[in-house]
Structure 1
Amino acid sequence: MKKFIIGLGVILLTQNLHAQTDFKYPFQNPSVAREKRVENLLSLLTAEEKIGLMMNSSKAVERLGIPAYDWWNEALHGVARAGKATVFPQAIAMAATWDVPEHLKTFEMISDEARAKYNQDLAENNVIKRYHGLSFWTPNINIFRDPRWGRGQETYGEDPYLTTQLGLAAVKGLQGDDPKYFKTHATAKHFAVHSGPEWNRHSYNATVSRRDLWETYLPAFEALVKEGNVREVMCAYNAFDGEPCCANNFLVTDILRTRWNFNGMVVSDCGAIYDFYEEKAHASHPNPETAVAAAVKHTTDVECGNSYKNLTQSLEKGLLKESELDTSLKRILTGWFELGMLDPKDANPWSKIPISVVESQEHRSQALKIAQKSMTLLKNQNQTLPLSKSIRKVAVVGPNADDGIMQLGNYNGTPSYTVTILEGIKKKIPNAEIIYERGCDLVDPSSKTSLYNSFLTEKNGANGMKVEFFNNNEFKDKPSAIVFNKRGINYNNSGGTQLAQGLNRENTSTKISGIFKSPIDGEVFLAPVASDGYSLYVDGKELLSRKGGNASKPTEVALKVEKNKEYSVELKHIQKGKQITIGFDIYRKYPLNFAAVREKVKDADAIIFAGGLSPNLEGEEMMVNAEGFKGGDKISIDLPKVQRDMLSELKKTGKPVIFVLSTGSALALEQDEKNYDALLCSWYSGQEGGNAVADVLFGDYNPAGRLPVTFYKTLAQLDLALTKNSADKQGFENYDMQGRTYRYMKESPLYAFGFGLSYSDFKYGKAKISTKKLKKAEGLNIEIPVTNQSKRDGEEVVQVYVKRDNDHDSPVKTLRAFKRINIAAGKTEIVKLEINPESFYFYDEKSGGLISKSGKYTLMYGGSSDNTALNIIEIEVK
């Protein structure tokens, strides 16, 4: 309590120091109208100062009291890359909750933590570092059109309506409800038609029909702009119809600015403007000055990167007028004032949020609740689950069982703790015998046991390795950052992120060192992973050296060691390219023995296999080349073979096998279904994930998560459908929607969009609707009776779909309303939903957009998009 009072005193003192009654310039006076403040400040800036304010690392204008600021901040599922923060389940997991009110509550907490960090930085240092600001590049509302995309985990799934509703809640939670000041800025990204592949995103040109553009790729963006008043939009790396998205006349100038009247900031993805003139990327412009001029003319206001420094040449060569800079500057400066960053702190209600909210007990409890709500039970043969808490012996097997890093997903913060699946199970059944066997790796067919925890940062030091980052290639001068890493070495700058606070994105070097105290006699393997040149030393002797390096192909070297002997290890990495990947591990290695694992667990009463994927395999522009993976994406959507073989061996025990699947994307599991009795998809479940898994496995929580994506039977099922409908392009690079996702898929998937099991049993009655004949631009109301036929309270997700009849190009069905509701055992609830007028809007070629279409429609309602689970009502729009 004393610490809190002192902290609050610092904030109040800072507020008093900032309170002013005399202002030198009108822009400094909060009582002056915002538009006039913007005009005044704009008139005082030189051209160079304006350019300095248009890059994500915005330069200070000291003579006017404008501090340096970085627009780059992340909050995908918690404040990211800014130290301690509550880590909620990954975005795709939050989508699996189908719970808009709880999603809003989660993002209100996230923005509380963001403001608290900002307030503390101002009070203590009067400096805001990158990732500690108020402008968050969240949410990712791209459509997860193909399960191969590695960044699909960042989205809300494959459906435009579900994405819209969750996206609106995220924006509202981030931006707040104060009439004068925004709590933070939210950003709708990546605009538009962007969902992989990762490996060629800097050169890829997406082409889709206008119908797919308007009915699938744009609805969520339009809603966040028009309904959500989102203050920033991020343009994508790829091109659309031959023009890079960040200078795309049709997307940005025509649709976003003119048709939708978006008056907020457009910010580029990181390095996207560089791609305009990079020979191996789009190469759409001959040089930097023409590239940056084109971006500004197409209203990309803030550049993430350093290409906008070339705007000086653009002005000098007459490629751009200063008045065109002013157009962008007005939107940027408006953002400063909207967030209150130039105002006295006592004028802003958000400045009073204390640092104590960060990872508070309330926020931890919410992380657990969202993880519980996201748990998606897909198979429960013979009611294998829930397991009894009086169970005698349980075997926990698998590469994800004790991996807390996996649970954090990508774009994550750093929690003070993470409860793994193994830890959650141990806490749930403290009196049972737990047999733990890692069993196998995620992908590697050999077995490895990491010995990283045997490292000390220095002789007699703390556990871990010391990592020193330098802003040069020579390891000279004082390190820009020093990190003591206890968890393992895995650094990359995918998406343009810094490897460490204060480190440049180019021309860096990294030194990783530690003392390895061997816990064994025998042979260990040292495995550096490096995108550029590196050298590995043990006791001063160089064991490995690479001039270029290749991060997709890690190198390992054997080392004979003696138990308890200490070895000095040093890895030096020199950056040459823009993409940096640095990894290092030390491990024992031996052949897998599935039969031996089976023998160890055969006497268990139940076997829990924790497997699936990891954000180290799927994610943003990753240098990964494991079998079935490429550049962060998946080539195959099968479960990796080593895990399939492990499951098969476990099934031979004859004991119930429960597969807990951690993943950020759908997998094709048809061939593996015979090898497990229950399947629980836990996604990347955040810091409380292990507790949530255990709660479901042992019946303390009744699962109600629903799939936000389709689980196809096989990849062939998807690609054959695409091939049938599009002869010119096949597979992952095909952005056409025909044959893709539940909306256009005519085959039966393994698990349908919207599907999920419960320990309760629900029955749908006959619905009532307000009218069966609608006028154009009208909606309707529907009342659906749902009965819980079981003896256990449970939650059901009621879903309503609409199909436009006699239109062969329209979706098979499209989600138009849903509600997650708790229904007591034996009770019936009347679920009331509104089907809004836009539910009957479809693409019209003549108008070039969506309009209300007359004709016959089929209204479908139930607990899944699967036709067998849906009831039907015929309606008509006149």
Structure 2
Amino acid sequence: MTPANTVSRRNFLLGASSLTLLAWAQRRALASSLSARAEAHIEALIAQMTIEEKAGQLSIFSDMTRLTPQAAINPEAGPPVDKNLAQRVREGRLIGVFNGLGAAGARAIQRIAVEESRMKIPLIFGADVLHGLYTVFPIPLGEAASFDPQLAERTARAAAIESTAAGLHWTFAPMVDIGRDQRWGRVAEGSGEDPYLGSQLAVARVRGFQGKSLTDEDSMLACPKHFVAYGAASGGMDYNSVEMSEQTLHEVYLAPFKAAFDAGALSTMSSFNDINGVPMSANRKLMTELLREQWKFRGMVVSDYTADQELIKHGVARDDREAAKIAILAGVDISMQSDLYNLHLPGLVKSGELPMAVVDESVRRVLRTKYLLGLFDNPYRSLDPEVEKRNIMTPQLRAVARESARASIVLLKNESNLLPLARSGQKIALIGPFGADIKNLAGPWAPFGKSDHVVSVEQGMRAVLGDKASLTVTPGSLIEKPLEGGIEAAVAAARAADVVVLAIGEGQDMSGEAQSRTQIVVPEPQQQLAEAVAKVGKPMVVLLRNGRALALEGAVRDAQAILVTWFLGTETGSAIADVLFGDYSPSGRLPVSFPQDSGQQPYFYNRRTTGRPQGDGPPAFKARYREVSNEALYAFGHGLTYSRFNYERPRLSTERLPWSGTLTVTAKITNTGEREAEEVVQLYIRDCVASMTRPIRELKGFRKVRLPPGASTDVQFTLTRQDLAFYNLEMQFVAEPGEFDVWVAPSATTGVSRRFVLNAS
């Protein structure tokens, strides 16, 4: 399948043009290459370094000297680096630090490294910049709803511009874990349940973070994480074990990583979980045999926060010393926060238990990456306080934040065309804990965002409404607790209004790391608020704030209009107002399936077929629960606009795809509504008969098209044999001749199929 693309409406932020495929391929080929001079310098350094200095290059710590209170997001662990950071730098006992901000402070620390340490090796400064630094963009799951890789590339580029201005070289992002179980809180950080969409966005974000060249002042090293299958934690419970077939691991969970590495990412992070009994920080088969030997990955692997030390709790290491040995032999180059490598690698080498060659290879990867970032030639790159002043919270950054936020909003439902709302002539009651809220806009893993710079829903709406008295704002309840007199006040506000806008959902601390939920529903106090307000009988628009798919119930599910607004970041209110009042026709599509009930989890559209599928006829003895059918409430790919689109049955260039040929699928799409709008046209396939059960549908492409009323366009996709391949019982990636169904459709459960045959020759 040729890579999905979208129609870009503007160039990259600050005049940087979108990368051509040719230039990208050329840069990828050079991404891990160094000059002979640089390679010789690296070997000379390794030859001169003591084992203690080598262990230092493989150890990274949280920068407590510059850590802001809101960025203290990890549990306290490891040594008190804040008390002896300068001395550690002089002694060469760390590769760098993370989650400290400020160009001036980083420059002072870097000066010690390159002027006072024996080896003069520059430090690297990293941080968790998942969806923006100070200017916060939508959570990655929300941005995935845009189905727009070029937009994701531009937001990553914007984040890199701001982050490098604040003294950073390395981001622990993008998070490319596939999330098929919505109980898992970290679904919010990824791109949803589909490996094709996840791979496209992984590539886009790597390209955006790293830019044209890793040596550029505004380039930030990407770190696709968490390697691997962290999103498949049993029961959706964070940090839990993973049991998985080799086929699913490679087809679903490894696919976005491979795409990210092919795009030039030169670091990755080992995940907390085990796979089939082997913790990832001890998994030589995946981190060395697959990643390095088969995939030829030349970058560096950093453990997740103390993940190497957690091998003891996993029960595969007796103590810290053995955990350090197991981790580095498995392929973990850098120990994060635990200090195990500093403490134990020297002794392990001196005892003969750990070959010096293993340590040298990890050091080589680290030094090579620092060279590729330009740090040896310019150790003070990205450490200019004047640049920091110019590139923080700029109007250009905020414009991209607003654009990405409104493109992330998904219109699930719009009965009787309740939306868009009129700007005048009606009274609106904005009800719910998120109406005036500014503390829950950024979402999880946005620790550096500034709440005093965000736009609330109320502020966004008031900026649009001419008559400020036409909007009343009533919280009604707290997020997870009732508010005394709240429901009564909300009901009164609803009675006095012509339309209700109900801003409800999850607080930002209900999604993200360590925030698994057994019931993925609107919290009970807010559900009770919704039920009471709905009884008033006024038209109601629900604004969902959420970091995962939710099982909607009662009055929320039955509301006339529902908008999924995720956590949209700095420009939340402006973007929501753009959609509510029709300045922007919603174009987002669900990157995760919304279930009918929490008990359906894990639920995903591309599940395998069973011998007793739902089908037609009586429900007994079918693959379903007693309470609900085995279908989504809102399917993957679903989303409405303020117009209507007609899909004609797709046309095939041939009904027999040659083994080494191509097949073009064409569908005529017509805007039959009364407004210009943007449609996400999706391509799905199904292998009708194969040697193994295959998914009921698989996304293989998508296009975004913008059409004025009455206009039509032909949307084309190209399929090859490679798009039909899968891992068979022998773990061979093969396509099998036979019949395939293909759909061009607006979601994973709609559309009319055509059938073609893959020839054997």
**1:212 maps to which residue?**
248
Distance 2:199 2:623 in 1: 22
Q: Is the 8 A contact 1:380 1:678 kept in 2?
A: yes
Q: Which moved more, 1:289-298 or 1:164-173?
A: 289-298
Q: Which moved more, 1:377-386 or 1:50-59?
A: 50-59
Q: Partner of 1:829: helix, strand, or coil?
A: strand
Change (3 A) 1:870 1:778: same
Which of these residues, 331, 335, 340, is aligned with residue 307 of structure 1? Answer: 340
**1:767 maps to which residue?**
650
Which of these residues, 330, 337, 345, is aligned with residue 298 of structure 1? Answer: 330
Deviation, 1:197, is 6.2
**AA paired with 1:618?**
S
1:664 and 2:547 aligned: yes
**1:756 maps to which residue?**
639
Distance 2:216 2:737 in 1: 43
Change (3 A) 1:179 1:619: closer
Cα offsets for 1:585-644 (capped at 9, x unmatched): xxxxx3x553443123202011111001022122212xxxxxxxxxx1111012222222
Q: Partner of 2:587: helix, strand, or coil?
A: coil
**1:52 maps to which residue?**
56
Distance 2:306 2:203 in 1: 27
1:389 and 2:272 aligned: no
Q: Partner of 2:439: helix, strand, or coil?
A: helix
Which of these residues, 463, 466, 474, is aligned with residue 437 of structure 1? Answer: 474
Distance 2:308 2:236 in 1: 17
Deviation, 1:351, is 12
**1:329 maps to which residue?**
363
Deviation, 1:871, is 3.9
Q: Is the 8 A contact 1:86 1:359 kept in 2?
A: yes
Q: Partner of 2:551: helix, strand, or coil?
A: coil
Cα offsets for 1:16-64 (capped at 9, x unmatched): xxxxxxxxxxxxxx97533222212212211110101101132547344
Higher alpha-carbon Rg: 1
**1:409 maps to which residue?**
443
Distance 2:609 2:745 in 1: 29
Cα offsets for 1:171-221 (capped at 9, x unmatched): 01111223866922111111111124699655x331111221122111111
1:815 and 2:699 aligned: yes
Q: Is the 8 A contact 2:436 2:473 kept in 1?
A: no
Distance 1:442 1:829 in 2: 45
Which of these residues, 372, 390, 406, is aligned with residue 406 of structure 2? Answer: 372
**1:98 maps to which residue?**
147
Q: Is the 8 A contact 1:391 1:605 kept in 2?
A: no
**2:457 maps to which residue?**
421
**AA paired with 1:105?**
R
**2:718 maps to which residue?**
834
Alignment of 1:498-577 (within 5 A): none
Distance 2:242 2:654 in 1: 41
1:642 and 2:525 aligned: yes
Which of these residues, 112, 115, 139, is aligned with residue 161 of structure 2? Answer: 112
Cα offsets for 1:389-447 (capped at 9, x unmatched): 01331101101112222110122132451001111111111304222110012221x31
Change (3 A) 1:870 1:39: farther
TM-score computed with the length of structure 1 as normaliser: 0.71
Q: Is the 8 A contact 2:214 2:373 kept in 1?
A: no
Q: Partner of 1:165: helix, strand, or coil?
A: helix
Change (3 A) 1:249 1:706: same
Distance 2:486 2:722 in 1: 57
Distance 1:352 1:213 in 2: 46
Change (3 A) 1:646 1:877: farther
Stretches of structure 1 that go unaligned for 5 or more consecutive residues are: 1-29, 80-84, 119-132, 448-589, 622-631, 727-737
**2:574 maps to which residue?**
691
Deviation, 1:748, is 2.1
Choose between structure 1 and 2: higher strand proportion: 1
Change (3 A) 1:87 1:314: same
Q: Is the 8 A contact 1:72 1:304 kept in 2?
A: no
Which of these residues, 495, 515, 539, is aligned with residue 602 of structure 1? Answer: 495
Q: Which moved more, 1:140-149 or 1:807-816?
A: 807-816
Distance 1:870 1:388 in 2: 36
Q: Is the 8 A contact 2:184 2:238 kept in 1?
A: no
Change (3 A) 1:619 1:374: same
1:42 and 2:46 aligned: yes
Q: Partner of 1:107: helix, strand, or coil?
A: helix
Q: Is the 8 A contact 1:224 1:230 kept in 2?
A: yes
Q: Is the 8 A contact 2:49 2:119 kept in 1?
A: no
Alignment of 1:610-649 (within 5 A): 610-621=503-514, 632-649=515-532
- Identity of counterpart residues, as a percentage? 29
**AA paired with 1:441?**
L
Distance 1:850 1:352 in 2: 52
State the superposition RMSD in angstroms: 2.9
Q: Is the 8 A contact 1:150 1:198 kept in 2?
A: no
**2:129 maps to which residue?**
75
Alignment of 1:84-483 (within 5 A): 85-118=134-167, 133-178=168-213, 183-195=219-231, 196=233, 201=238, 204-225=240-261, 227-277=262-312, 281-305=313-337, 306-309=339-342, 310-344=344-378, 355-412=389-446, 413-415=448-450, 417-431=453-467, 432-444=469-481, 446-447=482-483
**AA paired with 1:158?**
E
Which of these residues, 46, 55, 66, is aligned with residue 120 of structure 2? Answer: 66
How many residues get paired? 654
TM-score computed with the length of structure 2 as normaliser: 0.81
**AA paired with 1:823?**
L
Alignment of 1:660-809 (within 5 A): 660-673=543-556, 675-718=558-601, 747-776=630-659, 778-807=661-690, 809=693
Q: Is the 8 A contact 1:609 1:647 kept in 2?
A: yes
Q: Partner of 1:857: helix, strand, or coil?
A: strand
Distance 1:388 1:402 in 2: 21
Deviation, 1:261, is 1.3
Choose between structure 1 and 2: higher helix proportion: 2
Distance 1:652 1:329 in 2: 66
Q: Partner of 2:353: helix, strand, or coil?
A: coil
Stretches of structure 2 that go unaligned for 5 or more consecutive residues are: 1-33, 62-93, 96-112, 611-621
Which of these residues, 710, 720, 729, is aligned with residue 845 of structure 1? Answer: 729
